[in-house]
Structures are given as structure tokens and as C-alpha cells.
Amino acid sequence: MKPGRPPLPNPETVGGAFASSSRLLALRKLAQRACNDPRRMEARKAEAKIMEMMPFRVWLSCTAVARLIGTPDDRKTRARLDRLASDRKIERKREQGIHGPVYLFRRIS
């Protein structure tokens, strides 16, 4: 050890924090959700607006959801819908449309 540097932490003195990687992952996930980044705050507001205005048991396309919440039909709306689907707050299914595959979204009751 070089002079002037603090000693390395010992797992026994820290309380076993190095042994639990799942706990570190959970804390990291909480830290990401609690971030005060303005873009993330706007994204969470958009998700809340989608959940508030989306009807139950009705399949809607990304364009229909964008029109429903009054935002432009861009990739941000699709990203918000994908995030809600991964959080299991809405359902997503894929169908074949006129111009190719279409993703439909439905609020889980």
C-alpha cells in the first residue's frame, strides 16, 4: 500500500456488502428511478398521462395513443409504451398491418 492512501475496505467490517450483488442491483435500480434528470421526469409524466387516459380492454396502436394524449407520433411515444409494457402495466401484441407489422397496446385492468 502506498503512503497516504486509505486502507482497502474489508468485507467483514463493511457488513458483507460485497457478498450481495442482487442487493446492489436493486439499489442501482432505485437510484436510476430516483434521478432528477429533466428528460426522465418528462418521460415519467408522459407515462402517467398514458396510464391516465388509456381506456381499459381496448387495443390501440402507437399512433392512436399519441393522438389520445395529444403528443406528436414519434419514437418517444413508442419508447414510453415499450417501457410500460416491460413494467407489466400495459399489454403489447404484434399484428400484421397494411404496411407491415403493427404493435397494439392495451391497459391491463
- Could you tell me the three cell numbers for 78? 413508442
| pLDDT score recorded for residue 1 | 56
Number of domains in the chain: 1
Q: Can you tell me the mean pLDDT for 66-91?
A: 93
In a domain? residue 97:
yes
Q: Can you tell me the mean pLDDT for 38-51?
A: 90
What range does the domain containing 84 cover? 38-107
In a domain? residue 26:
no
Q: Could you give the CA distance from residue 41 to residue 34 in angstroms, rounded to a whole number?
A: 10
CATH number, domain containing residue 66: 1.10.10.10
In a domain? residue 50:
yes
